[in-house]
Homo-oligomer: A and B are copies of this chain.
Amino acid sequence: MAEYSIGVDLGGTNLRAAAITREGKILEKVSVPTNPLLGRESLLREMVAGISDLRSRWGTSTLAGIGLGIPGFILLKQGVIRNSNNLACIEDFPFRDEMEKRLQTKVVLENDANAAALGEKWMGAGRDVDDLILFTLGTGIGGGIISGGKVLHGFVGMAGELGHLTVMPNGFPCGCGNNGCVEKHASATAIGAMARLMGLGENLSSADVYNLANNGNEHARRIFQSMGQSLGIALAMVVNIFNFPLYLLSGGVLAAWEFFAPAMLDEARRRSFTFRNSNTRVEKAILGNEAGLYGAGFLPWAEPELENVAGH
C-alpha cells in the first residue's frame, strides 16, 4: 500500500478525520462525536479511539503521521495548546507528546485556520501560487498565511491572527482585549449581531440575514455592505503588508458574496495603492470544510520548521 497520512479537524463537539494519500486523494472520512465537558482524559480517549479506528482500516506501517488542526493558539515547539475556547480542558497540557505516546506515531499540531490555508495551497484554490492568505469567516474570523509554500508561524506559533486586525479602534470589544477586531464586524456572528441591532430579529443566523437580503430587504443588504467594508479595510492592510498574489475567503457566509464583495473590493481598492497597482486576486476558497482536513493531512509531509521556532 502507498503511504498515507491522517488529517484531523478538532472541533468543540466532534472530531473529523480523513485518511489521505501523498497525492491528495481522500481514502476515507470519519466524524466522531466528542465531549470536552467530560474532561481531559475522556476527550483524549475519544480522540485516540476515533483516530485508531480509522488507522486500523488503512494500516500502521504506511502511515506517515497524524496532523491535527486545532482552533486556538498553539505553542508549536512545545506542542501545547495555549488557548482554545472550545477545548479548554486540554489547554496548557503536553497535548502533542501525549497523543504521540498514545498513538505511537508522529503527531503534528497546527492552528485550524493555518491548516485550512495549507489545504487550499496543497489541493485547493492556491495550487498555482506559493504565497497566499486565507480568511476563514465563521463564528469568528481566522487567518492562515502561506509564505514561500509554508505556513508562517512566528516564533511561538501564533502568527496569522487576522481576525484581530483592528478595523475600528473604538469598535465592538473583543475577547482578545482589543476593540474593533475585524471578527467583531465581519464574521457570521457579527452579521447576526448587526441584524439584531437593526431590529431584524433576535436570533438570526447569517444565513437568515442572507435570505432577507436576497428577498430585497434593505437593512439586510446594508449589513452585508458594512461587513464588506470592514473586511475591505482588513484586506487593504494585508495587501499593503504582504503584496501576495492571492487572498482567499472561506465560510458559509460566502453565499452572500454578491452582497458583501462589491463593498469589500471597493474599500480595498481605495485604501491600498498596492491593490490598485498589482494584479491582486481575491477569490473564494474551493475546498470548504475539507480544507482543514487536507491541510492537517499534509502536516506530516510539510517541511519541519520547528528548529527555527524559538522557545517561549
A interface vs B, CB < 8 Å? Answer: 73, 82-83, 130-131, 143, 145, 147-148, 152-162, 164-169, 176-179, 233, 236-238, 240-245, 270-274, 276-279, 308, 310, 312
| Given A157-B243, A279-B312, 16 extra CB contacts under 8 A | A131-B155, A143-B241, A147-B152, A148-B148, A153-B243, A154-B242, A155-B278, A158-B274, A160-B241, A161-B240, A161-B273, A164-B272, A166-B271, A169-B233, A176-B273, A237-B237
Nearest 6 Cβ contacts at the A-B interface: A154-B243, A159-B243, A178-B271, A158-B243, A161-B240, A176-B273
Of chain B, the residue at the smallest CB distance from A270 is B177
B165, B233, B278: the one contacting A156 at CB < 8 Å is B278
Q: Would you call B243 and A310 a contact (CB within 8 A)?
A: no
Determine how close the nearest CB of chain B comes to the CB of A197; give it in whole angstroms: 19
Q: List 12 A-B contacts (CB under 8 A).
A: A145-B241, A148-B148, A153-B243, A158-B277, A159-B243, A166-B271, A169-B233, A176-B273, A178-B270, A178-B271, A178-B272, A245-B310
Determine how close the nearest CB of chain B comes to the CB of A142; give it in whole angstroms: 12
| Chain B residues, Cβ within 8 Å of A131 | 154-155
B83, B153, B244: the one contacting A154 at CB < 8 Å is B244
- Oligomeric state, in copies: 2
Q: Would you call B236 and A238 a contact (CB within 8 A)?
A: no
Q: Would you call B272 and A177 a contact (CB within 8 A)?
A: yes
| Chain B residues, Cβ within 8 Å of A271 | 164, 166, 176-179
Bound CA–CA A240/B242 (angstroms): 14
Bound CA–CA A167/B169 (angstroms): 7
Q: Would you call A166 and B273 a contact (CB within 8 A)?
A: no
Q: Would you call A166 and B236 a contact (CB within 8 A)?
A: yes
B155, B168, B233, B274: the one contacting A243 at CB < 8 Å is B155
Q: Would you call A73 and B277 a contact (CB within 8 A)?
A: yes
Bound CA–CA A308/B244 (angstroms): 12
Determine how close the nearest CB of chain B comes to the CB of A255; give it in whole angstroms: 26
Determine how close the nearest CB of chain B comes to the CB of A141; give it in whole angstroms: 12
| Chain B residues, Cβ within 8 Å of A278 | 154-156, 158, 312
Bound CA–CA A238/B166 (angstroms): 11
| Chain B residues, Cβ within 8 Å of A237 | 164-166, 237
Bound CA–CA A105/B154 (angstroms): 37
| Chain B residues, Cβ within 8 Å of A154 | 131, 242-244, 274, 278
Bound CA–CA A237/B153 (angstroms): 15
Bound CA–CA A90/B14 (angstroms): 59
Bound CA–CA A176/B273 (angstroms): 6
- Given the known interface contacts A274-B158, A278-B158, A310-B245, the answer about A240 and B152 at a Cβ–Cβ threshold of 8 Å is no
